[in-house]
Amino acid sequence: MNPLPHPIVRVTVCRQVGTYSLYLEFDDGATRTIDFEPILSGRVYGPLRDPAQFAQVRLDPEIRTLVWPNDADFDPATLRYWDDYLPHLVARAEQLRRTPASV
């Protein structure tokens, strides 16, 4: 996927508002609530389907984006411009669901 041309942004606030949903604020003043459920598959994001794992999200103080203990994270621009990236993320998640896990 070619990166979309978006300005650099940072997440300033992260609050869980649903099982797989987070409310985010960005340093450019934008806010967004994201439901991550449709993209939670594969080795990196699949473990976050466990609500207890998903709830361990934190805002990294240095890179100012969301991170989880299993090393899952997102580029802040992906989060800020979620609607632009969502079709690709959902297609990739669906592809991962159809692919048998490697042994």
pLDDT per residue as tens digits for the range 11-67: 999 999 999 999 999 999 999 999 999 999 999 999 999 999 999 999 999 999 999
Whether residue 3 has pLDDT greater than 80: no
Q: CB within 8 A of 47, min separation 6: which ones? A: 53, 70, 72
Q: pLDDT at position 26, please?
A: 97
Q: pLDDT at position 13, please?
A: 97
Map residue 57 onto helix, strand or coil.
Answer: coil
Domains and CATH numbers, the chain: 11-98 (3.30.2020.10)
pTM of the complete model: 0.86
